[in-house]
Amino acid sequence: MKSGLAGLLFFLLTTSLPARQLRYYAELADTDDFSEAHYVTSIDSLTPGGGGYFVWVANDLRPGLWGVRIKSSQSGKAGTWVRQFNGPLSADWFGARHLPQSLAGTSPTFRNLGYEEHEIKRRFGALIPDISFDDTPDRTALQMCMIALENGYSEVMLGTADFYINRTITLPEKIKPGDFTSWSINGSGATIYSVNTTGFAFFESLPRDQRQGLDEFTARRFTITNLILRGRSLPGSGSVGIRIGATFHSKFENIHFADLDTGIVLRHAMSSEIYRCNAVNCYSISYYLGSGEGVWSGANAPNSGSNQSRVIGSRVFASDGQYAGVYISNSSECRVTDLALDGGEERKIGYAVYINTGGTTTVKDGYVKGVHGEAGITNALVKFRGDGNALFMLEDVFVQMKCTVAELEVISGYAQITCSNFSYFPPGSNFANKGNGGAWTFIHVFEKNAEVKWKTGSGYSPPIPERIKNSRKLM
């Protein structure tokens, strides 16, 4: 709505053309008056939103994009009715309804809301070939927004409304090699709900193979902000908030993920950031960064990692039995900074952070700084796994429940972990060393004469004494 008002103001301030009043998009397509701008009140009799000003652009041969570029139905008339606006796209222009699932106890689909199937296929069939009469208007409108981004627009703003979707929305994808492309999706506080108990990714884009990932998809940047994504499927269904393969310098900020298997999955997302996000009751993993290995052809750990990516200032409210808050796999030089883990002792999570750099090539390092743990830990607060001279750092830790505070698993060769500046962990907590190649340095972790307690059994054993250094707090 805000973007529509801004566009209207822009139009009124920059044109002196008279405007003809029409009710619906269909009347705009049918009009034979091309001499003046037309103001359309709404989309159709079932869809009250989507109004705006349109100007006839003669000889505009671009294909129609229902909602912003509407073709004339007049025989032989070359041109397009083009929406006049200044700012981001709005989902309302493409038919979003924002009707809750509680409507008569049914899902808010085209079928249940009384639309005509032939009309839905006529409007959207060319751009959404798999359009279904059982899709929701909100899902269709959001997909049209993504298609509009592919067609030269740069930003979508959703507003504070609720959206109800029944299946995946495919994010914009570059269709040929070329210059770097940047797209912005600003939720502005919008909440997107799944209407299905089956799992799916709310937003997704994965390359078909590694060549497409490298040649096309990595030359794109997403900025996705200010959204609430709420699933309703059972654990193990595969529900995901955002799943992206191949991107560079993307940023995901102020997104709330709730009741999903995994909040966000990023593969081959180089130098990207998950910033100030909140994950509540994600059954498996809240934030995942990894490679495309096993997901698209030609991808393996060395050639498709999410190198130098970061999780910053984010929160995990654990689901009981959750595997990990942050899981980083086969990616080098990744960082987790200022992670809050909540849920209380009654909610058990395997790991707050698990970084496994085993499949990377030259740089196998990983860094965690600032973990505040207030949930039960079944395996380790932070685990590092790597080989071949990997260097790991864990700094600024506070944890309330007794647990294994840090674990180092060395696959082969040697790896080193430095633990520093731990403010508090409960008595009885321990540290876990797995494999023969681990070296540990403690700086300001223990006070006075306190000794390290090591986890034993099941492949765990203390490192050899020569590989332990301990600089105690001066207190």
Amino acid 10: pLDDT: 45
What's the whole-number mean pLDDT along residues 387-397?
91
Contacts of 152 (CB under 8 A, 6+ apart): none
Q: What is the Cα–Cα distance from 22 to 28, expressed in whole angstroms?
A: 7
Residue that is written with structure tokens 């689901």 in the block: 319
Q: What is the Cα–Cα distance from 116 to 123, expressed in whole angstroms?
A: 11
Is the distance from CB of 120 to CB of 130 less than 8 angstroms?
A: no
Amino acid 361: pLDDT: 64
| pLDDT of 87 strictly over 90 | yes
Residue that is written with structure tokens 């081959």 in the block: 268
What's the whole-number mean pLDDT along residues 39-54?
96
Task: Give the phi and the psi of residue 139 in degrees, each rounded to 5.
Answer: -60, -45
Picking from 235-239, 295-299, 430-434, which range would have the lowest pLDDT averaged per residue?
Answer: 235-239
| pLDDT of 3 strictly over 80 | no
Q: What is the Cα–Cα distance from 452 to 449, expressed in whole angstroms?
A: 10
What percent of the chain is predicted at pLDDT more than 90?
Answer: 81
| pLDDT of 359 strictly over 70 | no
Residue that is written with structure tokens 């059972």 in the block: 234
Burial class from Cβ neighbours inside 10 Å (0-12, 13-18, 19+) for residue 114 reads exposed
Is the distance from CB of 412 to CB of 444 less than 8 angstroms?
A: no
What value does the mean pLDDT of the chain take?
Answer: 92
Handedness of CA 5, 223, 336, 170 (dihedral sign): positive
> Which range has highest mean pLDDT (101-110, 359-368, 375-384)?
375-384
Is the distance from CB of 113 to CB of 99 less than 8 angstroms?
A: yes
What's the whole-number mean pLDDT along residues 163-177?
90
Amino acid 233: pLDDT: 83
**Which two structure tokens, joined as six digits, stand for 54?**
């349109």
Picking from 1-5, 43-47, 159-163, which range would have the lowest pLDDT averaged per residue?
Answer: 1-5
Of 351, 339, 286, whose CA–CA distance to 315 is shortest?
339
pLDDT band at 6 (very low <50, low <70, confident <90, very high): very low
Where b means 16+ CB within 10 Å and e means fewer, 310-329 reads bbbbbbbbbbeebbbbbbbb
pLDDT in tens, 242-255: 999 999 999 999 99
pLDDT in tens, 306-325: 999 999 999 999 999 999 99
Picking from 80-84, 106-110, 349-353, 427-431, which range would have the lowest pLDDT averaged per residue?
Answer: 106-110
pLDDT in tens, 259-286: 999 999 999 999 999 999 999 999 999 9
Amino acid 412: pLDDT: 85
